[in-house]
Structures are given as C-alpha cells and as structure tokens.
Amino acid sequence: MVQYDSTVDRAFAALADPTRRAVLERLGGGSATIGELAEPFGMSLTGMKKHVRLLEDANLVVTEKIGRSRRCKLVPYSFEGISTWLQRLDRFAQVVERTKGAR
C-alpha cells in the first residue's frame, strides 16, 4: 500500500520526465557518473546534476562522490511499492469494467 506522503509525490513527479526515465533505464545497466549520464543527451553536467538531484530527492537514485566525479546508481526496491500499487489499481479497473451495469 502506497503511503500518501511527499516521497511518493516526489517519486511520481521525478518519473514524469523522459530524460529522467532514460537516466533510470541507463542506470538499470549499472552505475554511472554524472558525466557518463550527461554525454548521450549532449547535456551539460549542471543540467544532468539537476535531474539526478530530483531522482535522489525521490529516493530512486543514490550518488557517491568518488574523487572528482559523482557515481549514481538505482536504489533497489524503491520502485516496488508504487509498481505493486499500480498493478493493484489495474486489477480493480478490470474488475469494475467486467461488473459494470451491475451497479
């Protein structure tokens, strides 16, 4: 059951951007520095840092400063709760659809 707190708000808001979703997909293949994440988008480090900060605030990504670069990785189990909640909603939607007219 998803709690209606600001972490969930932040998670969904962070996911509402195609660049951030692409960053998450990239991190699904392994950790990466901000520079490595920025490069395929032709984006500045500053621009990518802002995206990563939003993912971090939503607890979907953690970062670690290593030397002069910052390495990012996904937070395991952070997507599970909202995914399960969405699945449950979909099942309910299907049940409501099948029983319509019976109200």
Crossing angle for the helix pair 6-15 and 80-99, to the nearest 10 degrees? 80
Which residues in 15-44 contact a second copy (CB under 8 A)? 15-18, 21-22, 24-25, 27-31
Angle, vertex CA 64, rays to CA 61 and CA 65, nearest 5: 140
42, 67, 68, 76: residue in contact with a second copy (rule CB under 8 A)? 76
The least distance separating a second copy from the CB of residue 70, rounded to whole angstroms, comes to 16
Q: Pick from 42, 38, 39, 32: which is nearest to 70 by CA?
A: 32
By CB under 8 A, name the binding residues for a second copy: 2, 4-5, 8-13, 15-18, 21-22, 24-25, 27-31, 73-80, 82-84, 86-90, 92-94, 96-97, 99-100, 103
